[in-house]
Amino acid sequence: MHSVDLYAPQLGEHVWHAFTDDQAIGATSEAHRQRIATVVQRHLPKLSWSRARFLELGAYRHYTGNLLVAQHGCEYVATDIAAASLRDARVQARGAGVPADATAVVADFHDLPFSDGYFDAVFVASTVHHSASPEQVLREAMRVLKPAGVLILDNEPCARTCCFHAFTTNPRESFTPYEKALDAAGLLPTLSSPFWGSRPERLFGMVENDRIPLSLYTDVLVEEGQFVERRLALDRLIGPFEQTLMRLKGRGPALRREVKAMLDHAVATARHGYGATERLLGYVLPSQCEVHRLADSVSLLLEQRRTADDDTEWQARMFGAALAAVVRKRGSATGNAPGLYRRRVERASDGIVREALDSGSVAARLGEGLLPEVHAAPDATSLAHVFPPSEWQLVTESHGSHSMVNRTAAARVLLPQQAGPSLLLMRFYAVVGQEQPIRVRVWGGGILLDEQVIALSETRLVRAMLPQGCREVMVQTADLEDRPLIDNVRVGVCQLFTVGIDGDHAR
């Protein structure tokens, strides 16, 4: 049995994408279709649509491929690490009246199961930053491209020098009062990140890499290709704070003192309103050492602006940017026609293609779970053998999915007998009332598997290895004084997998 890293980001991706109420799927799918069509017309004018081969990495729930297959009859492969996203893309497409199906493949974009030089175009949108090794993702995308084929990048974030990266924030619609105040002051891009809103994903162990230098994209992609289009969007990242920085005219130590004074003022503003909730959220403020270090970097880059060849690129380095580009792979197209896959794959009953279990990939082993899907359950009766009705109640959320709500302060989840160790993944929404933090503990086989203190109403993840023979887990909720609470946990995903685990990560 191949082992699984308990803290692999793929596990968080798998659970996070089990369901969603994203309302922009249709509009984004159509925008992506138009983007691909425009690039083909501009850079692959001789490509026969009926014989064209497209690949999309990190397709999520978008049905861009379905639109293109329906329109042109081309071959389109959509990949994602989460099978639930790919399944839902088909549902979304059918709901929009799009009957044709793209090929949906569960795949790790660091190690694609596809043959070298197979695709005419590879489309990647808002995806590369979900990797701690973006250079590997880019190289894989180039590997599977045909010579003279094109890689299409859209909305890929580039790093910002003028940033403390002190904490990650909630999405704008879920900003806390503290985050709203910093946003109003125009300081979130400097204190937190140029691309805020990643806190929920990071709670799930997912990668939200906002520190990919623009130079990394350039250096890696020119190894095998040439940029034929490149745009850097940075308007929303430059406000009054950034404009004031760019107007500084000093040099050397004098410039550094001016920069440090601005950064000191930003940190002082952030200190106002920082309190117990922010500490529980894990938010930190920059230290004086960090202020000095960033002042050095920013003042040095300000001086370099005077001799920079491209001011837009300089601003992107200083303040971050979203990159859109088209890269043509060097070489000439050949008559060779490799098969689509370089490793053995299997098509599941749901129509999704996965690598064979003996491949050892995480994507292959997060297939069919051993428990029913809570969020898609037809009724409470279908879940009664897992969630005892006296301890859990089925509710329908506003977005149509189901959750199980704890009726007792110690609610059990009953599990089937397993011959070996098993992996538990549980996604729940914690309801925190009147800004009073709650404590959620999960027990299994008499062992405390997980404990989380939660200060805001938000979605959380439990990932744990269960002892062999464990037949139930218990979800226990209380306030910080250990007074029992009920109706505070809404479980939307509770899934069990039979897997091994790396010894280093089992502790």
Q: Report the C-alpha gap between 147 and 142 in whole angstroms.
A: 9
Q: How far apart are CA 241 and CA 251, in angstroms?
A: 19
At 505 the pLDDT is: 41
| pLDDT score of 436 more than 90 | no
Residue 60 CB contacts under 8 Å (≥ 6 apart), including other chains: 17, 80, 85, 89
Cα–Cα separations (whole angstroms), residue 481 to 247, 437, 438, 485:
53, 10, 9, 11
The Cα–Cα gap between 6 and 501 comes to 7
**Residue ranges of domains in the chain:** 1-159+197-234+320-358, 166-193+236-317, 369-505
Assign domain 1-159+197-234+320-358 to its CATH architecture. 3-Layer(aba) Sandwich (3.40)
Residue 26's closest CA among 101, 96, 103, 84? 96
Mean pLDDT of 352-362: 75
Residue 348 banded pLDDT, cuts 50, 70, 90: confident
Is pLDDT larger for residue 8 or for residue 315? 315
**pTM (two decimals):** 0.90
Cα–Cα nearest to 114, from 426, 344, 457 = 344
Which residues does 197 contact at the CB level (< 8 Å), separation at least 6?
A: 169, 170, 171, 172
Residue 301: per-residue pLDDT: 97
Give CA–CA dist 11/348, Å, rounded.
Answer: 20
Give the range among 11-15, 318-322, 373-377 with minimum mean pLDDT.
11-15
pLDDT (tens digit per residue) in 190-201: 999 988 899 999
pLDDT class for 506, splitting at 50, 70, 90?
very low
The sign of the CA dihedral 280, 281, 287, 289 is positive
How far apart CA 347 and CA 83 sit, in angstroms, is 12
* Across 89-99, average pLDDT: 94
Where does the pLDDT of residue 333 fall: very low under 50, low under 70, confident under 90, or very high at 90 and above? confident
* Residue 216: its H or E element: helix 214-221
Q: Of 274-283, 365-374, 413-422, 445-454, which range is least confident?
A: 365-374
**Percentage of residues in the chain having pLDDT higher than 70:** 94
- In the structure, what pLDDT confidence band is assigned to residue 4 with cuts at 50, 70 and 90? low
Q: What is the reported pLDDT for 18?
A: 83
CA atoms of 129 and 212, how far apart (whole Å): 7
Residue 62: strand, helix, or coil:
coil
The whole-number average pLDDT for the span 158-171 is 96
Instruction: Please indicate whether residue 129 or residue 368 has the higher confidence score (pLDDT).
Output: 129
Average pLDDT along the chain: 92
What confidence category does residue 367 fall into, taking pLDDT thresholds of 50, 70 and 90? low
What pLDDT sits at residue 360? 60
What mean pLDDT do residues 42-64 have? 97
Task: Convert the pLDDT of each residue in 462-490 to its tens digit.
Answer: 999 998 889 999 999 999 999 999 999 99
Give the mean pLDDT of 44-59: 97
Buried b (16+ CB within 10 A) or exposed e, 259-276: bbebbeebbeebeeeeee
Distance CA 425, CA 463 (A): 5
Q: What is the mean pLDDT of residues 312-322?
A: 97
Q: Does pLDDT of 160 surpass 50?
A: yes
3-state secondary structure of 333: coil
Q: In what order do the strands lie in the sheet with 472-479?
A: 410-414, 472-479, 438-444, 447-454
82 is written with which tokens? 């989460």
Looking at per-residue pLDDT, the higher value among 499 and 159 belongs to: 159
Find out if CATH 2.60.120.1320 is the number for domain 369-505: yes
Better pLDDT: 247 or 497: 247
pLDDT number for residue 359: 64
* pLDDT above 50: residue 501: no
Q: What is the largest CA-CA distance in the chain?
A: 72
Closest CA to 126 of 63, 58, 61, 25: 58
Contact 98, 113 (CB under 8 A): no
d(CA 385, CA 395): 17
The yes-or-no verdict on residue 247 having pLDDT over 50 is yes
- Identify the pLDDT of residue 2: 47
Distance CA 476, CA 199 (A): 24
Torsion of CA 103, 66, 74, 99, to 10 degrees: 100
Look at residue 204 and tell me whether its pLDDT is greater than 80: yes
